[in-house]
Amino acid sequence: MRHLVIVGILVLVVAILTSFGLHSAGLLPVQASEQARSIDWLWNLEVTAISFLFSLIVVPLLYSLIIFRRRKGDSSDAEHVEGDTRLEITWTVLPLFAVLGLAYLGAYSLAETRRVDPDAMVVDVTAIQWAWKFEYPELGVTTTELYLPVAQQVVLRMESPDVIHSFWVPEFRIKQDVVPGHLTEYRVTPSLVGEYKVRCAELCGTSHAYMESPVVVVEQAEFDRWAMEQQAQAAALDTPEKRGEVLAANNACVVCHSTTGTEGIGPTWLGLAGSQVEMDDGSTVVADDAYLAESILDPQARIVKGFPSSIPPFSFSADEVADIIAYIETLR
């Protein structure tokens, strides 16, 4: 009994110290959304449970190795133990109830992250190799950075035209896959003004590591000013060339194609319009409007020499293709 009491005290002491150390280590980034509250609460509970289970295993093990080790010159046999039915039932039933309890708490936390606010602001998100595009249908604004008002729920309607991506802002805690052919939703209520980053958490190709965009959480008044500025800029830049430039940026065209003459994943756009382009099969074509339109919609239709392509077809409208071509023609 004396050993059980000592081990019990040591288990509690080590569990408390381990839990305190893990909670003090700053394992999680700052909490910046209402949905993060229930997630962090469950996380802290699990860290505490893990600390206790760690101590429950390690402390008796080390205590036994030290106290009950074979002494020098001792050649006797240890006591033969058949087993303890009550102990076996206990260590089966208690973990079962613990798992069921955690399952309930996990379901509750999931329900909290999906709680619907009927007045939520809608933002359409497009994830594309290798960039993010954010469209505010109620405002008529499209950007490459996500602006959100604090303390208002936002529903992100997300889709991808190419491969699986994953929307992840660590400070918001929630992560949601963006799957081609499916519209997925992500609800978040920002709770802390600040600047964050959305990262792609699904390996999606060559430039996956650089698929980041700013996320800016501001007060409602500042968000309204930003929206008006964006609307004014959109009205001032409403020309085919400018629309094409915005389309190229928002759809990650300039990630592969430079506009300065430097080589990238794809051939540069500088001086491309009207030039002679050598194909992978040795033929040469003129980069006229028809060729540019074909290459924009289906990058693998004709492969430029030295630039093997694995990019899937794009779904631009005829007007959007014309705008992008108008922009390319200004790059001389």
As a whole number of angstroms, the distance between CA 276 and CA 168 comes to 43
Count of alpha carbons within 13 Å of 244, Cβ hemisphere only? Answer: 21
Output helix, strand, coil percentages for the chain, rounded to the nearest 5: 45, 20, 40
As a whole number of angstroms, the distance between CA 140 and CA 96 comes to 53
Tell me the fold of 121-236. Immunoglobulin-like (2.60.40)
As a whole number of angstroms, the distance between CA 316 and CA 255 comes to 17
pLDDT for residue 103:
92
Tokens 């209402």 belong to which residue? 34
pLDDT of residue 153 exceeding 90: yes
Contacts of 158 (CB under 8 A, 6+ apart): 124, 125, 126, 127, 167, 176, 178, 183, 184, 185, 186
What one-character-per-residue DSSP string does 100-111 give? HHHHHHHHHHHH
Cβ neighbours of 227 (radius 10 Å): 17
Q: Give the residue among 194, 183, 181, 191 at the shortest CA–CA distance from 156.
A: 183
Residue 251: exposure state from Cβ atoms within 10 A (0-12, 13-18, ≥19): buried
Q: What is the mean pLDDT of residues 10-34?
A: 89
Q: Do domains 121-236 and 240-328 have the same CATH topology?
A: no
pLDDT of residue 217 exceeding 90: yes
pLDDT for residue 215:
94
Contacts of 40 (CB under 8 A, 6+ apart): 28, 31, 173
Question: Could you report the per-residue pLDDT of 50-97, keeping only the tens digit for each?
Answer: 999 999 999 999 988 888 887 777 777 777 777 788 888 988 999 899
Q: What is the mean pLDDT of residues 111-117?
A: 86
pLDDT of residue 237 exceeding 70: no
122 backbone φψ class: left, alpha, beta (φ>0; ψ -120 to 50): beta
As a whole number of angstroms, the distance between CA 129 and CA 186 comes to 20
Range 240-328 has CATH code 1.10.760.10: yes
On average, the pLDDT of the chain sits at 86
pLDDT for residue 231:
83
Sequence ranges of the domains in the chain: 1-21+30-61+104-115, 121-236, 240-328
pLDDT for residue 236:
66
pLDDT of residue 166 exceeding 90: yes
Q: Give the residue among 275, 279, 257 at the shortest CA–CA distance from 324.
A: 257
